[in-house]
Chains A and B, each alone.
Chain A
Amino acid sequence: MVDSQKDYLTFQDIHKHYGEKIVLNAISAEIAHGKITSLIGPNGAGKSTLLAILSRLLKQDGGKVSFFDKNIGSYKGQDLAKKLAILRQSNHLDLKLTVEDLVSFGRFPYSQGRLSSEDKEAVQNAIRFTELESLADAYLDELSGGQRQRAFISMIIAQDTDYILLDEPLNNLDMKHSVHVMKTLRRLVDELGKTVILVIHEINFAAQYSDFIIALKNGEIVQHDKTNQIIQSNVLRDIFEIDFDIIDRNDKLICNYFNL
């Protein structure tokens, strides 16, 4: 049984270094189950590295990631792929595939390539979710960066995992589609009980849509709290080293840092 009060993705003393350079310095945290957690922090803080380790794409040099009380490394690839999905930051794509081809690959853990009618429905739903119906047959290399990004997100949705890890999913997206993706993630969490962890650069999106925020800096977790505890001018100034003006509109916090 899944207990919604318990956290199922946790990591302890995660350490990672490249040569002399320490990228993650023995960090630990528990990711709130059934919530959106945003990872914020300056470039090079180690956000992508952490996300890759949490999703077993990268081996840590020390420490342990546990997922539903088991070491994440002990899962069978196919089993884990039905529970946890990751979209990396840069998805360079040299292959000429259609949007629908790509989204269908999201069903691979279930279908092993032979799509059942259930799989096909999941694919169509995911395409509809990301408003890509009219582009389903288009080749990915002929799309704009933002459309391609949506196709990748669509694939992750088709993969239908309880845990979704996204590294800068709003990259390249225009405002409308950024809002749309964030609303989609919110619905996946609120309506379907999924857990989302994403790296995000625009602090206002983190402020508006996430339940928790983890701030990374120089390979350390400097903050981990409920969103409204982090969206404070003094806290943000310590993380990003610029000034913030926090505006409170009906309990929604908006950050102005553009020209202070």
Chain B
Amino acid sequence: MNFKESIPYKLIITGAAIGLLLLLIWISLFTGIKDISFASLFSDKEQALFFIISRIPRTLALLFVGAGLSLAGFVFQHLSQNKFVSPTTAGTLEAAKMGILFSIIFIPEVPLMMKMSFAMLFTFLASLLFIGFISKVNIKNTIYIPLVGLMFGNILSAISTFFAYKHGIVQNTQEWMLGDFSSVLQGQYETVFLILPAVVLIYFYADRITIAGLGPSFAKNLGLPYYSIVYMGLFIIALVVSSSVVTVGAIPFIGLIVPNLLSLIYGDNLRRTLPIIAYTGASFLLFCDILSRLLVYPFEVPIGMTVGIIGGILFLVLILRRKK
């Protein structure tokens, strides 16, 4: 047995990883225009209130969305049997936005949960359509599939924009284009906790999802109902994506790069990699958010942009690596 598999090594790595996450959480909680120190939380009532209403929700939302979107991306890649499929490259984010838009058009004063339900319905149908499409067309070159997905997303986006113009709410839609955590406040972000049941479902379905990733015949040989697993997986993806988009807007690329990078190192057995994916996704998003807040301090770069730039670069690197 080599050192890398020894128990002390694993403990050290796990310890260091948890330490890093705690550090990021700490920085995330205490970074911002309003200068809050740990000590003042106990002395200054106003500061403590601000901390509870704004800072804690923001950090929690980052953790949930980062972990959730990364896991959703991994599930999507298994179900589509394509490493480049993710909510960003399958039109799923656009479908969620479309759902929100339609909820606003059809229901005046639409409550958050209703927005969420619309978004879920639209994301589920869009990912079903996408998976159905790629299983029918049988494209050999895997690079084309995300391109088709991006096109699909653009079409959905164009339709949304058309309706937004017609109803004079273009301003509104622009807001969801780039994800943003700065407006996360207590009382308006709780939809993000819907990611929790989704992660629990992924945990219980981990083996089934991995087996589905080996194809319908493989799953059927083991007595598994392949299509039920696919529907379940798409439901999970819809739940994660729509609760993210409803709460903080679209965060691109994270569901693509986090699982891909980790799969290169830790492999594709979901039961084993689930905690690592959740951890890395959460840390990565926290890191990007801190960067967004510090880059042009005291202003904020929308996190969607930070993630988009870092993610886009990593995505290109990945394509070049996988092509080899």
Contact = CB atoms under 8 A, between A and B. Distances in A.
B72 to A, nearest CB: 18
Contacts of B221: 55, 57, 81, 85-87, 159
Given A77-B223, A78-B223, A81-B221, A113 B268 contact: no
Interface stretch (B43-51, B124-132, B206-214): B206-214
B220 interface: yes
A88 interface: yes
B271 to A, nearest CB: 7
A94 B83 contact: yes
Query: Which among B223, B263, B269 has the highest number of chain A CB atoms within 10 Å?
Result: B223
Interface residues of A, number: 32
B140 to A, nearest CB: 11
B267 interface: yes
A109 B267 contact: no
B168 interface: no
Contacts of A105: 207, 210-211, 214, 222
B263 A81 contact: no
A101 B225 contact: no
13 contacts: A52-B217, A77-B223, A81-B221, A82-B223, A85-B221, A86-B217, A94-B83, A94-B213, A95-B214, A95-B268, A105-B214, A108-B211, A113-B207
A96 B268 contact: yes
A101 B269 contact: yes
Contacts of B268: 95-97
A97 B267 contact: yes
B157 interface: no
A223 interface: no
A87 B206 CA distance: 23
A108 B220 CA distance: 11
Nearest to B211: A105
B70 to A, nearest CB: 17
A56 B220 contact: yes
Nearest to B218: A91
Given A78-B223, A81-B222, A108-B207, A57 B267 contact: no
Contact of A113 (B78, B220, B223, B271): B271
A93 B218 CA distance: 11
Interface in B238-282: 263-264, 267-269, 271
B223 A81 contact: yes
Given A101-B269, A113-B207, A113-B271, A108 B224 contact: yes
A79 interface: yes
Nearest to B223: A81
Nearest to B226: A77
Query: Which among B78, B220, B221 has the highest number of chain A CB atoms within 10 Å?
Result: B221
A81 B212 CA distance: 15
A186 B81 CA distance: 35
A114 B220 CA distance: 19
A182 interface: no
Given A57-B217, A93-B214, A94-B81, A109 B223 contact: yes
Contacts of A92: 215
Given A77-B225, A108-B207, A108-B211, A98 B220 contact: no
Nearest to A85: B221
Given A78-B224, A95-B267, 5 more contacts: A77-B224, A79-B223, A96-B264, A105-B207, A109-B223
Given A95-B268, A139-B267, A108 B222 contact: yes
B213 A95 contact: yes
Query: Which among A56, A95, A98, A113 has the highest number of chain B CB atoms within 10 Å?
Result: A95
Q: 3 closest A-B pairs (Cβ-Cβ)?
A: A81-B223, A113-B207, A78-B223
Contacts of A45: none
Nearest to B271: A113
A107 B263 CA distance: 24
Contacts of B223: 76-82, 108-109
A101 B269 CA distance: 8
Contacts of A76: 223
A106 B206 CA distance: 16
A143 to B, nearest CB: 14
B271 A57 contact: no
A42 B217 CA distance: 24
